[in-house]
Amino acid sequence: MVKDKFTLWRQRDAYYPVWLPCVIILLFIEINNMNLKKLFAVVAGVSLIAQTMLSMVPARAATFSAELEDAYAYAYEMGVTTMAPIENANMYGAITRAEMSKMIANRAEEVLGLKADTSASCVFNDTASVKGDLAGTIIKACQMGLMGQGITSFRPYDTVSRAEFGTILSRALWGDEHDG
Question: With b meaning 16 or more CB within 10 Å and e meaning fewer, what string describes 144-161?
Answer: bbbbbeeeeebbbeeebe
CA distance 121 to 97: 19
With beta carbons less than 8 A apart as the criterion, state whether 149 and 172 touch.
no
Predicted TM-score (pTM) of this structure: 0.61
With beta carbons less than 8 A apart as the criterion, state whether 157 and 99 touch.
no
Amino acid at 131: K
pLDDT per residue, tens digit, the chain (180 aa), is 444 444 444 444 444 455 555 555 554 555 555 555 665 665 666 566 656 655 554 444 568 889 999 989 988 888 888 888 898 888 888 999 999 999 999 889 988 899 999 999 999 999 999 988 899 999 999 999 999 988 999 999 999 999 999 999 899 888 877 776
Burial of 92 (0-12, 13-18, 19+ CB in 10 A): exposed
pLDDT tens digits for 76-127?
888 888 888 898 888 888 999 999 999 999 889 988 899 999 999 999 999 9
CA distance 116 to 143: 5
Burial of 123 (0-12, 13-18, 19+ CB in 10 A): exposed
